[in-house]
Structure 1
Amino acid sequence: MSTQKKTIGFIGTGVMGGSMAAHLIQAGYQLNVFTRTKSRAKSLLQQGATWKDSVKELAKESDVIITIVGYPSDVEEVYLGEEGLLNHARPGSYLIDMTTSKPSLAKEIFEKAKIKDLFALDAPVSGGDLGARNGTLAIMVGGEEKVFEDMLPIFELMGENIQLQGPAGSGQHTKMSNQITIASNMIGVCEAVTYAQKAGLNPSKVLDSITTGAAGSWSLSNLAPRMIADNYDPGFYVKHFIKDMKIALESAKELGLSTPGLELSLSLYEKLAAEGNENSGTQALIKLFQKTK
């Protein structure tokens, strides 16, 4: 289908969703928005988005519906609830869940959507607040190839590295691989920055050397500078990373895999959250290491 004149509905306008939705408005799409806290949509409404009072109302007035909410339970409510998308979206509508959620839930949504002549994709993202703001997200997609091709012009407004990974649920499985990688990497980044500080080095100068070598990673380049600056504002919330790691751990166990690095990272982040940091950015993990004697 041609997406140029289609109305897009957007549900969830948090740290990442707000920036992602803004790119769609700037590209000339008519955008309907709904989020549980209307004040979070203020910027989008000022840019020309139209507020809808419920998921049901948004569903009835949108051709393509994008969701990026908090937890799998939120995805279930938005899609499978009595007032949800599967009960109220118009036949022929496209449903794109960009939340990091359970692969099994993505498959369930796909199968139930197909029965109702709806086209569903799971398309979680990576790149944090910076990637969302700059339109450079990695977008990992699960679903049918024709549906993916139809939605590609929309994905290209929000991201750069856009890959169809396979059938329904494949996007979420890919995101789990992403989060498993980050989990252990964040421990290494925190240990490295703390080591540089304890050794009396200038940690920023250390980063100049190690970010371009074999140790290089997105987290080292983008989150280590925030650690050094004691900036714990959320590009990605600790509480949401904990959610992701629990999904990844559950999925890994279903596959019969051992993931000790993931388990260690989850335990550390749960300790960090218990100390009052659940609404901080994931870089706040360094607080645990800086306390170590």
Structure 2
Amino acid sequence: MVIKQVVYIVFFLFVTFTFSQSKINLFLKPSDTLNKSRRNTVVITEATLGVASLIALDQLWYKDYPRSKFHTLNDNSEWLQMDKLGHVYTSYQLGRLGANVLNWSGVSKKQQLIYGGTLGFAYLTAIEIFDGFSEEWGFSWGDMAANAAGTGLYIGQELLWKEQRMTLKYSFHRTQYASQRPDKLGEGLSQEFLKDYNGQTYWLSFNLHSFFKGNGIPKWLNVAFGYGADGMLTGEDESINGLFADQNRVRQYYFSLDIDLSRIDTNSHVLKTIFDIFNTIKVPFPALEFNEENGILLHGIYF
């Protein structure tokens, strides 16, 4: 199913609200020892945003649909799995962010991973339970597996390398499909950015320097492999009341260069924080596209 818009909203609110709670300490470097004031700020902020957003989601979204007994739903074949990659990405980024703000407060590495790295999985699990009690949807084990994959990607790298050598990123371009079905794919850029899977690409970005140290490779240079899909007006390849019967659904695979903004050298903790936030988005670069319909395509600049 389509990931609820509130998940993405909470993602950005979490960044802004957490740091704005302490104007004096805003953008300062992580504490070398436990800073209880910072830790309490993080815990209170996370709890407040988490509970408030779930209450809002229940009232603004689920209230308009009939309730049901808890049930499951197999939606693994929908949207050419773009929605599943959205779950992986969201779980990874929320976990990364949760661990980073705990690091800012001086919490131990073990606690960062246990209480911060699992933030995305815990939050998305709560939403999945809501789905399970909604007649319109259902608890999806596929979504849960995707949530676990995103959390595992973050925590696994920290345990193995103590750094993120591979980063999940997102890019978006507008498509013709949203105007054909705005109720499902969004109306206007702000909605399409979240809902039109045809314009979304999810990237696994590899930092070359971290894998090949000592070879003169810039610390910030990455190569990225992306996945997208095109031609989708419905979740499945099907018509609805005789409409959308001629969909030309195509999987798309991409290769491109990228920049790991978090590895750009700077002494400014303001810039470090800004770079870390925007490192969630793939930097536009030329890209090679591979798909079954058109073979190999070259994009001068790909968003």
Please confirm whether the aligned pair reaches a TM-score higher than 0.5, indicating the same fold. Answer: no
Greater helix share, 1 or 2? 1
Bucket of the pairwise TM-score, normalised by the shorter protein:
under 0.3
TM-score normalised by structure 2 residue count: 0.26
